[in-house]
Amino acid sequence: MSLSYDLHSHSTVSDGTLSPADLVVRAASQGVDVLAITDHDEVSGCAEAARQASDLGTIRLLAGVEISVSWGKQTIHVVGLNVDPDHQQLFTGLQRLQQFRQWRGEEIGRKLEQAGIRDAYEGALAQCKGELLTRTHYGRFLHQSGVVDSMQSAFKKYLLRGKPGYVAGQWASMEEAVGWIVAAGGVAVVAHPARYGMTRTKLRTLLREFVEYGGDGLEVVSSSHNSNEIHTMSQHALDLGLAASRGSDFHDPEYRWVELGRLPELPKKCEPIWERFEINQPYSQEIQRDY
């Protein structure tokens, strides 16, 4: 029987709502055999998640990260899988992004204040409970305080580019992000490629650059992709020699339309990304099954 892989998920260490340990418990109960925890610009949940996976003994945990990248005017997400979360170069790189996030978080608060929304920074901080501050936390604050009636409209009205609370990012370059991941022993994957709204030509340019810097994979199967997009992305992966990844991008059990492990299989023609790495030692346990 083939294993169920979910290689993209978030915990309270960034904008997810489950602790790293609870994320692993939920993944195991959903039948996931191999889970990657991939918080935004942060690896500090990996140790707790690995301990929980080891205690359960029925699921493997890959240490991962989702790095924010500025590519031209766009923000791209690059997932690193099977990284050493204690690697110095990765750690230092992420620290810079975390510092930028802190400044950006305050700036978003100032901009929302100018737009007439008071104490949004304090509200978002209360949402993230001292962990990494993201736009999702602002979205939750705007929703829960009744400024908007859904997370979607929080983004649409306030947080997307061109809206009052948007602050442009100065994230990692593509070369840096891939470099940090590879230095930390991991493989780099372009996350949810269909979500960037790029033309085919532009996406090809991005992917060629990504391959040049040492990128390995494309997230062909994602909960934000429909079946046409899965098909298109699998073709891009094949054409460019990229392996394919599969990840739910799970954030929150309240989002009922996204569940850990509940995703289509990789198209048969794809090379699975997990065939390109040996799972790092500290996080590898033999999967125990009693059947």
Q: Please report, as ranges, the residues that interact with ligand AMP according to CB under 6 A.
A: 15, 40, 68, 134-136, 139, 151-152, 155, 251
Burial of residue 185 (CB within 10 Å: 0-12, 13-18, 19+) is middle
Q: Select the binding partner of residue 68 from ligand AMP, Mn ion, none (C-beta < 5 to 8 A, by kind).
A: ligand AMP
Q: Which is nearer to Mn ion, 97 or 286 (CB)?
A: 97
Q: Which is nearer to ligand AMP, 33 or 42 (CB)?
A: 42
**CA separation for the pair 127, 31 (Å, rounded):** 30
Question: Which residues have C-beta within 8 Å of that of residue 203, sequence separation ≥ 6?
Answer: 193, 196, 236
Which residue has its beta carbon closest to ligand AMP?
Answer: 134
Rounded least distance, CB 138 to Mn ion, Å:
12
Q: Which is nearer to ligand AMP, 15 or 33 (CB)?
A: 15
Q: Which is nearer to ligand AMP, 40 or 225 (CB)?
A: 40
Rounded least distance, CB 71 to Mn ion, Å:
13
Q: Select the binding partner of residue 152 from ligand AMP, Mn ion, none (C-beta < 5 to 8 A, by kind).
A: ligand AMP
Rounded least distance, CB 55 to Mn ion, Å:
25
Name which of residues 35 to 74 contact Mn ion (CB under 5 A).
66
DSSP 3-state assignment of 78?
A: strand
Which strands, in side-by-side order, build the sheet including 217-222? 5-6, 34-37, 60-71, 74-81, 187-190, 217-222, 243-247
Q: Select the binding partner of residue 155 from Mn ion, ligand AMP, none (C-beta < 5 to 8 A, by kind).
A: ligand AMP
Question: Which residues have C-beta within 8 Å of that of residue 120, sequence separation ≥ 6?
Answer: 108, 109, 112, 113, 138, 141, 142, 165
Q: Which ranges constitute the DSSP H helices of the chain?
A: 20-29, 46-56, 88-114, 120-128, 135-144, 151-154, 174-183, 200-212, 227-240
DSSP 3-state assignment of 187?
A: strand
The reply to whether 249 sits near Mn ion by the rule CB under 5 A is: yes
Per-residue interface string for the shown chain with Mn ion, residues 67-86, x marking contact by CB under 5 A: ----------x---------
Q: Which is nearer to ligand AMP, 140 or 236 (CB)?
A: 140
Q: Which is nearer to Mn ion, 48 or 66 (CB)?
A: 66
Q: Are the CB atoms for 242 and 233 separated by under 8 Å?
A: no
Name which of residues 200 to 239 contact Mn ion (CB under 5 A).
none
Site for Mn ion, rule CB under 5 A: 15, 66, 77, 191, 249
